[in-house]
Amino acid sequence: MIGRKQKIFLERNSKTKDAVGSWVETWSTIKQFKGYFTKMRDTSGETIRYDKETNINQYKIIANYFTDILTEDRIRINSRLFDIKGINNVDMNNINTEIIVEERD
């Protein structure tokens, strides 16, 4: 397996009320796991998003198989945040989960 094994946090967005009763979005950790984290080859490049030039870097995470993950969730590794772009059950054998992520700016 290429890459380093990292402590990874899976976070889910939810809406809660603040002290004055207004709805606010918060991210909560729903799972902590270890996985191999590697940069995908030839994926970085500049693109225009939201009227500004942005670097997009895609990474792949391989972890023991689990199912409680959605593309609306996000990944946190240390202070870095990643959007989930794809989730695969490698070889359809329920042994490994492959997660494709893009780093947030």
Contact 29, 43 (CB under 8 A): no
Q: CA-to-CA distance for 70 and 73, rounded, in angstroms?
A: 5
C-alpha 30/C-alpha 8 separation (Å) is: 11
Alpha carbon distance, N-terminus to C-terminus of the chain: 27
Q: How confident is the model at residue 52 (pLDDT cuts 50, 70, 90)?
A: low
Report the alpha-carbon distance of residue 65 to residue 59 in Å, rounded. 18
Strands of 1-105, DSSP E = 4-17, 23-39, 45-49, 52-56, 58-64, 74-77, 80-89, 96-103
pLDDT of amino acid 42: 55
Mean pLDDT estimate for the chain: 87
Q: What's the pTM value of the predicted model, to 2 decimals? A: 0.81
Per-residue pLDDT, averaged over 21-27, amounts to: 91
Q: Note the pLDDT of residue 53.
A: 64
Q: Which CATH class is domain 4-103?
A: mainly beta
**pLDDT tens readout for residues 83-102:** 999 999 988 999 999 999 99
